[in-house]
Amino acid sequence: MIISLIGYRGCGKTSLAPLLAASRGWSWIDADRELERQQGRSIADIFASEGEPEFRRLEADLLRELCHQENLVLATGGGAILNSNTREKLRASGPVIWLQADASTIEQRLGEDQSTCRSRPALTNLGWREEIERVLAERLPLYQQTCHIRIDTAGKTLVEVAEQTEAALRELSKQPGSSQA
């Protein structure tokens, strides 16, 4: 089983993954970082040289491989849910947790993390805030369709998010017929 974290960039997937993994004695992987390691270049470079469709293909291939692992917390890229096969694979592999935040919170977090700005390409030709709002709106139904659990991270510390996530995983595991968590 794996626990997958989905959500827009800046919602805390990479920060939460090691905490959840440590509490279980599991491994964790940031899919974006793993893809960059395997490709030997940044996501922004892949977007620039080969385009988003090729990046999405590489991402889907990697996630398909990772979904076969056991005892793994997986921090996916924000757009991983764009591929229907990936959505199905994530759901079948274990609980999927959607980390959410409002556009204002995401904008603030991304502004404070200059490495994200350098390594992640713009997804539209809009300004930062407009891009966040548009992409969030477009992806909303896919995040909803994919997740088992939703956690709002806005205004919370990482410890609070981890505690709320652990509690939600315990509740999910109590549901009749659940093999999750």
166-178 pLDDT tens trace: 999 999 988 876 6
Helix segments in the chain, DSSP class H = 13-24, 31-39, 43-50, 52-66, 84-93, 103-112, 114-119, 128-146, 158-174
Instruction: List the domains of the chain with CATH numbers.
Output: 2-168 (3.40.50.300)
Residue with tokens 């960039």: 9
Q: Tell me, what's the pLDDT at 114? A: 62
Q: Tell me, what's the pLDDT at 96? A: 98
91-126 pLDDT tens trace: 999 999 999 999 999 888 887 766 655 555 555 566
Nearest 5°: phi and psi at 100?
A: -115, 155
Residue 96, judged by CB atoms within 10 A of its CB (0-12, 13-18, 19+), counts as buried
11-64 pLDDT tens trace: 999 999 999 999 999 999 999 999 999 999 999 899 999 999 999 999 999 999
- Reading the block at residue 93, the tokens are 């592999």
Distance, CA of 103 to CA of 101 (rounded, Å):
7
